Every structure is written in C-alpha cells, then in structure tokens.
Amino acid sequence: MSPETVKLAVVQMHVTDQMEDNVSRAIAHVRDAAAQGAQVILLPELFENLYFCQVEREEYFDLAHSLDGHPFVGRFQELARELGVVLPLSYFEKAGQAHYNSLVCIDADGTLLGNYRKTHIPDGPGYEEKYYFNPGDTGFRVWDTRFGRVGVGICWDQWYPETARVMMLQGADFLLYPTAIGSEPAEVETPNSHHMWQRAMIGHAVSNSTYVAAANRIGTERVGDLEQTYYGHTFISDYTGEMVAEFGDTEEGPLLHTLNLREARKFRAGMGFFRDRRPELYGPLLTTDGVTRRG
C-alpha cells in the first residue's frame, strides 16, 4: 500500500576529482536531509567524481567498479539503514567487459532493491557518454520502497516522454532524475538553458499527473582540455506542473518538499490520461522511422 504523503529531498552539490571527498560530502547532505525529515533522498548523477565524459580518455574507465564489493554502495546501504531513508544511488558500473551508467535503489532498511542501467546514452561535444557506457539492458525500473513506488531515470533519460510514461505504467508514484548537465563547449550551437531542461520534465509531470524531481551538480569542472560549468537549478514539480521547490545555480544541499501522493493519485484518475490511451495505435513508437512493418 502506497503512503499518502512522502517527504522528498533532492541534493545539489559540487564535485571534485577525489572520490572520498565527494562521498563524504554526499553522506553529509543525506544526513542533513534526513534531519529535516526527508524519507527519500536523491543525489546527482555520477557524484563520485568529476564528469569525466567531457573527453574520451581510456584512463577514466578505471573509475568504474562492479556492484559486488563496490567501494561506497555498501556505505550508503548502512546509511539508509541507520537513517531509515530510501536512497536511489548513481554510480559508474563495470560488469565483465561492459560499462554502464547505473543506479541502485536502496530501501530504508538498507536492502538493495535492484539495479538500473541508463537507457538513453548521449553523444556530443562535452557529453561523450557513448565512448564510456554501453546502452542499458535492464529496461526501465520502478521499485517498491518503504515510502512508495519510486521510478528513476538517469539524466539523458529525462528528455524522453517514453521513459516517464513507461515508469508510470509500471505504477510509479513519482519520478526522479539524477543529472549532470550544464554548459556546452563554445563550438556547440545548441542552447545552454536550464529552462528547456526543466520544461521537458515538467511536461512529464503534466502528461502523467505526477510529481517529478531532478538533482543536478553545480560548479566548474576541468577535465582534460575542456571546462564545463554545471547550472544546478535542481527542482521539484508537482503533479500539475507547478514548480514547488527550486535552487539556483550556486546553492548546495538538500531541497525538500512533501509530496501528497493521495491527491496526485486522485487527480491522475480524474484527468483520464491513462484511461484514454490507445496503445494499439502506438506501433510507430516501436520503430526508428515511424513505419510499422508487419510479417
């Protein structure tokens, strides 16, 4: 049975090139959030190190670790158990000869509920993720936790309405997105705007009548010959698309809001978006060119 309300925290933080420094800071932010009553706490994407995907360098594969015997996932399991909080946790995963941008969901008793591997992998100047990460093979994941059914995508996933819709069809009570996003290299013509980033996810909130939240990093990071500034603007949107909590581009720490899941469920049912779906007509969504082929 899903709870009627959940207190959510999304953490905005800066990152250095020292894993222990980042993990210790992340733990401090989790403790701060829990002290303020947070029950589910989301840290940013790949918070363990600088966003190394700015450049393509073989040496950065050394940052990946297998989930079994991972250097810090166990510490967050102990932390979740101690504080009684749910922690969806981003990490760089090594599995055999494969590498993934992954996330484990840790329940409030410290149990690992499962592993999600990022589905959509970007490839562009300053965001060279296809060099490092295999496309995820887990499918989208939703977890039954002590504090509701939690659906989590990872960064580039947040631009895709399909990601949000699938997680909602799987019964998610709310959607979370750990993120690492900011400035583009000078030669890139695409806009560098947190507004567009937020609007995409707010659209998911509206079309799925659900709470949506994203946690981003802040600060300027230099990797190789490139430098990027991450624009923060970590936020929480309610189930009507209203921004109910937001940081700017410099604040650090947890951003909190109480989610009224009971009211969201009632509103979602009344809107009828899921009642009026016509999945039998959505075949073109299963193709790359919009042409459904039969036989």
Whether residue 257 has pLDDT greater than 60: yes
Catalytic residue among 45, 48, 128, 129: 45
Distance in angstroms (rounded) separating the CA atoms of residues 211 and 239: 5
Would you list the domain boundaries of the chain? 5-275
Q: Which two tokens stand for residue 175?
A: 């959607």
- Average pLDDT of 25-39? 98
pLDDT tens for each residue of 260-279: 999 999 999 999 999 999 99
- Cβ(106)–Cβ(147) under 8 Å? no
pLDDT tens for each residue of 35-69: 999 999 999 999 999 999 999 999 999 999 999 99
pLDDT tens for each residue of 104-143: 999 999 999 999 999 999 999 999 999 999 999 999 999 9
State the pTM of this model.
Answer: 0.96
Angle, CA of 155, 107 and 114, to the nearest 5°? 60
Torsion of CA 126, 133, 24, 30, to 10 degrees: 100
β-bridge mates for residue 88, sequence order: 105
Q: Is 155 a catalytic residue?
A: yes
- Average pLDDT of 203-212? 98
At 292 the pLDDT is 77
Catalytic residue among 7, 93, 128, 155: 155
pLDDT tens for each residue of 159-170: 999 999 999 999
Whether residue 295 has pLDDT greater than 60: no
Catalytic residue among 7, 93, 118, 221: 118
Q: Which of 106, 101, 35, 99 is nearest to 74 (CA)?
A: 106
Whether residue 1 has pLDDT greater than 90: no
- Average pLDDT of 277-295? 88
Average pLDDT of the residues of the chain:
96
Domain 5-275 has CATH 3.60.110.10: yes
Q: Is 53 a catalytic residue?
A: no
Q: Is 45 a catalytic residue?
A: yes
pLDDT tens for each residue of 65-85: 999 999 999 999 999 999 999
Whether residue 184 has pLDDT greater than 90: no
Q: Which residue has the tokens 């594969």?
A: 61
